[in-house]
Structure 1
Amino acid sequence: MTLLADLLSTVFERRYRRDASDTALDGRPLTELATALVGSAGETSGLALGSEILSRFAQLEDGDKLAFFRDIATTMNIDPERVRSTLDDYERAPSKASYRAFAEAAEPARQEMVRRLNRVPGATGALVQMRADLLRLGGAEPELQALDLDFRHLFASWFNRGFLVLRPISWESPAHILDKIIAYEAVHAIDSWDDLRRRLEPTDRRCFAFFHPSMPDEPLIFVEVALTKGTPGSVQALLAEDRDAMPEDAADTAVFYSISNCQAGLASISFGNSLIKQVAADLAAELPGLSNFVTLSPIPGLTKWLDEVGLDWSTEDPDNMRALAAHYLLKAKSRGGLPYDPVARFHLGNGAIVHAVHADADISDKGRAQSGGAMVNYLYDLPRVAANHENFANTRDVVATSDVQSLAEQIAFSTTDER
């Protein structure tokens, strides 16, 4: 049945592509085609228009893409007067009809445009790339930020956890998938195919990725896992070429040492929370001997923050770097009261706690530059993850072990000026 479904899908996809190419479009500007798409009633004509829009958009220069975004952001916006009128009607006489009228008025036509574009076979990936272009080109323009909210609204539904498929990535995975793992690795660069092999093939290594059925050859996010005895404090030791692999059943700790988002067009669409929890649950079921689930995470904002607030630091003083890192993770806050460090916000928001801080944990040039070589373990205590998440969401308190708290108190510095 799977083979038959694939064959039928291919036949229909080719039919729609042929229909699209056979339809004689009149060379209208792209924005006029977008308006025609929203107003089209026929399925075939809509597919033809959608295919033409996506094809032509992909070939535009950046200036023309920006002009297209600006046009649909304004011409396909909501009509405030219509929104107010239909809301007044609904308030006076709530009914199915008055609610429908208000809902239609409150939704900008550009949302329906994106939905109709997504009917074109293979369009989901193209729309993800379209949003990547919007984020790259839109800057701080309020109208384009509003347009991006429409993309985010739709993508949040289309890429809901219920639609995502968790797949293990191994050395036996297809080469085109492995090639993308190398390309998308954003934390610790994979230098070669041999380097990738060391991360995937040994019995004490794992890798998992989320995929979407509409983008089956494109990982959305992936996590690399090391199975260890105890909690590691050095990424170079974890990834050493000459290390000896250990039997998987001898491990007591699963270490999430790299989490990479792959699609710029899916920024702010959260996958990491579900990915870590699903992988931890699967590993716990596969390997009952695992009792600890931790990260070995970078601290990307540390040195920038130290320089901004005028605190001296040196990679030659590992004890001071640990104390500075602990203080930063626990005390440095943004204007909203959340941790200044983006990785800390991510893991604490997922229900982890700050477990341990290490100096000289990443001695690469990148590690030295962003954190003076310091790294941190976040602990995922599975029975307490939900409670930790709720506590952080409500109080924004950073929960840490007593050792980390003691380290943080060694730095006599006030961080009352929120950044």
Structure 2
Amino acid sequence: MNKLGKFTKSIFESIADAGETLLDITKLRGTPVQEILELSYDLVSHKGLATGIALARQIVARYNKLKKKEKLEYFQALIKITEVDIREIKMKAEALYNNPGPETREELHKSLKTKCQKLFSRMNMAPNGTKAIVKLREDLLDFLPEHPELKPLEVDLKLLLTSWFNPGFLVLRKLDWDTEASILEKIIRYETVHNIGNWNDLKQRLTESRYCFAYFHPALEDDPIIFVEVALTKGIAGSVQSILNDSSNKTKRNTAIFYSINNCQRGLKRIPLGNFLIKMVATQIAKENPEIKTFSSLSPVTGFAEWLKKVLLSNKSKLFEKDSETLKMALNPGWHKNPTIVRKVKKPMMKACYHYLVKEKRKGRPVNPVARFHFGNGAELYRINWMGNSSEHGLNDSFGLMVNYLYNLKNIEFNHENYMVHGGLAISKSVKKLEE
């Protein structure tokens, strides 16, 4: 943590210590959940700064001690304060309509804020409060599949975290071998796209032609939020093995390949961070390396194998009827080692991947999360690469296919607007030919 962060934290600790003298927590009675709920309700209605920070610190400390079952009970109780007063909102909206102005607009805004949002906002006053709330949302997301009734709570948290983790509050850092070991250790731990086996693997990804950029938030000390790994190459690379196994310093590099993007905080899932990161990194690389003219990702086709297996084994589906028997050859272990099968499977597999990325949609957007991410950033689906990832994971996840999404800095804003407004997808001519 930098000096300013330590100083700020010490101030809040001192204020919380002073506030503790005004609290009488000895009167609390009941189960751990009942006690933390009583403190939470007090914090929502409390207005004093010192006691408010002290209450927030107590809640954070007690939440961290709750067992999994108790956390669920706490969340279920908080649902009661996620509701808003519809009559009040209607009244405030009518007041704004009849008398437009900053005062009536502010009153309407206040009426839209739930007590639960107030609770989490005030919990953020505690030392390490932001970190605690990110962890709280991580716990909540784990409960959601079996407890969808908790969704209003998640909505409140997402609204707050989206504003707190606005890119304007984030700090972009270029990491290298001289970066603090504690941060580099976290990069190894958080890398989930292409595993970093040890420190030597990491060092190879931080050479002269290999970069790592990460976003940090002042409230999370030296814990990265999201990071991207970049390789400078000659031309657009189509194989991740060629990147991971190449540590040489070739000349005439003209392309930056974003080959691994990792979200580090599960509690920030679905908080938009990566789109800003890509654009910031591309701008910085272009400034530092004027010879780099092309920017592209080398991305996994996450979930493609699982989706295609379901389609091929479904009696109801009529997709790929002509090629279904050929494609089923790829369902057998070791298929990629048989040259005859590989030759037969390649073309229909590439066409199936094109269909999955472009045609399979939910609510007008591609079902593939990586495609949604890059199209939303204004990138172009430039190329589908056969055996782009020949590792066991790559074969199991996408039959070895990988995709290049091209970031043409002149077109990304137009592509982004076209996607967001009309759902339009930027696709290269060579990829479109797969539809024929």
Give me the TM-score of the superposition, normalised by structure 1: 0.90
Which residue type is aligned with residue 229 of structure 1?
A: K
8 Å contact 1:319–1:359 — kept in the other structure?
no
- 1:333-366 deviations in whole A, cap 9, x for unaligned? 22x1211211011101100011111111111121
1:226 corresponds, among 215, 227, 231, to: 231
| Structure 1 segment 41-120 matched on structure 2, within 5 A | 41-88=47-94, 90=96, 99-120=105-126
2:199 corresponds, among 193, 200, 219, to: 193
Question: Is the counterpart of residue 329 in structure 1 residue 334 in structure 2?
Answer: no
CA 1:6–1:405 in 2, change beyond 3 Å: closer, same or farther?
Answer: closer
Residue 328 (structure 1) shift: 2.3
Alignment partner, residue 177 of structure 2:
171
8 Å contact 1:89–1:98 — kept in the other structure?
yes
The 3-state SS of whatever aligns with 1:168 is: strand
2:28 & 2:191 partners in 1: Cα distance? 41
- 1:138-187 deviations in whole A, cap 9, x for unaligned? 33645421111111111111111111100011111111101111111121
Alignment partner, residue 416 of structure 1:
none
1:159 corresponds, among 154, 165, 171, to: 165
8 Å contact 1:20–1:51 — kept in the other structure?
no
Question: Is the counterpart of residue 371 in structure 1 residue 398 in structure 2?
Answer: yes
Which residue type is aligned with residue 372 of structure 2?
A: R
Residue 19 (structure 1) shift: 3.6
Residue 216 (structure 1) shift: 2.5
1:235 corresponds, among 218, 232, 240, to: 240
1:189 & 1:136 partners in 2: Cα distance? 24
Aligned length: 402
The answer for unaligned runs of 5 or more in structure 2 is 30-34, 313-319, 331-335, 337-341
Alignment partner, residue 286 of structure 2:
284
1:301 corresponds, among 286, 295, 303, to: 303
2:116 & 2:104 partners in 1: Cα distance? 22
The answer for unaligned runs of 5 or more in structure 1 is 410-419
8 Å contact 2:13–2:127 — kept in the other structure?
no
Which residue type is aligned with residue 224 of structure 1?
A: E
Alignment partner, residue 269 of structure 1:
271
Which residue type is aligned with residue 353 of structure 2?
A: A
- 1:48-87 deviations in whole A, cap 9, x for unaligned? 1100100111111111111111111214532334334444
1:259 corresponds, among 261, 264, 270, to: 261
Alignment partner, residue 208 of structure 2:
203
- 1:92-150 deviations in whole A, cap 9, x for unaligned? 66666655544333321111111111111221111111111111113364542111111
CA 1:83–1:337 in 2, change beyond 3 Å: closer, same or farther?
Answer: closer
Alignment partner, residue 246 of structure 1:
249
CA 1:389–1:91 in 2, change beyond 3 Å: closer, same or farther?
Answer: closer
8 Å contact 2:16–2:51 — kept in the other structure?
no
- Higher alpha-carbon deviation: 399-408 or 114-123: 399-408
- Higher alpha-carbon deviation: 227-236 or 76-85: 76-85
2:377 corresponds, among 350, 353, 363, to: 350
2:288 & 2:9 partners in 1: Cα distance? 37
1:213 & 1:341 partners in 2: Cα distance? 32
CA 1:140–1:149 in 2, change beyond 3 Å: closer, same or farther?
Answer: farther
Identity percentage over the alignment?
38
Residue 319 (structure 1) shift: 3.5
Which residue type is aligned with residue 301 of structure 2?
A: I
8 Å contact 1:300–1:341 — kept in the other structure?
yes
Which residue type is aligned with residue 330 of structure 1?
A: V
The 3-state SS of whatever aligns with 1:18 is: helix
Residue 41 (structure 1) shift: 2.2
RMSD value, Cα: 2.1
- Higher alpha-carbon deviation: 275-284 or 134-143: 134-143
The 3-state SS of whatever aligns with 2:40 is: helix
Residue 250 (structure 1) shift: 2.5
Question: Is the counterpart of residue 31 in structure 1 residue 37 in structure 2?
Answer: yes
Alignment partner, residue 412 of structure 1:
none
Residue 386 (structure 1) shift: 0.3
Residue 322 (structure 1) shift: 2.4
Which residue type is aligned with residue 15 of structure 1?
A: S
- 1:275-304 deviations in whole A, cap 9, x for unaligned? 001100100111111111011100012112
The 3-state SS of whatever aligns with 2:366 is: coil
Give me the TM-score of the superposition, normalised by structure 2: 0.86
8 Å contact 2:81–2:114 — kept in the other structure?
no
Alignment partner, residue 360 of structure 1:
387
CA 1:10–1:130 in 2, change beyond 3 Å: closer, same or farther?
Answer: closer
